[in-house]
Amino acid sequence: MAEGRYRVFVYGTLLTGEENHEVVAPYVRAVCSGKVNGRLYNVGPYPALVLGEEGEVEGEWLTVTEEGLKAMDELEDYVEGRRDNEYERVWVRDARKPIEGYVYVYPPEKAAGLPLIPSGSWRRREEKM
């Protein structure tokens, strides 16, 4: 990976064509489809990913510049080392391809009680809110 470039798995409003993609679009250098192991939950206007061995979540791997990673951190209200982040940024591997990078995940305890998106796809969720 080129210096100053980061691969990030996105699965919700940052996907190409979705409402928050414009936040990262100027910094995207490459896009490819992907899947990670876990479950997707509906928080309302956006989804939450809980990593795990059950299920697969569809999304895209975005290769972004350092500015793009900072823009995503700001959107997700993520600050490294802070204890009360809504999402955590962690390292993950694709479920089927030899790709790895960052992903923003939701703590399982926060997802308890949220509706599951059985398809594992934000774009194919059953109820658009």
HEC per residue, the chain: CCCCEEEEEECCCCCCCCCCHHHHHHHEEEEEEEEEEEEEEECCCCEEEEEEEEEEEEEEEEEEEHHHHHHHHHHCCCCCCCCCCCCEEEEEECCCCCCEEEEEECCHHHHCCCCECCCCCCCCCCCCC
Per-residue model confidence as pLDDT tens digits over 24-50:
999 999 999 999 999 999 999 999 999
Q: Domains in the chain and their CATH numbers?
A: 5-111 (3.10.490.10)
The one catalytic residue in 76, 80, 88, 100 is 76
Assess whether 76 carries a catalytic annotation: yes
Residue 129 has pLDDT above 50, yes or no: no
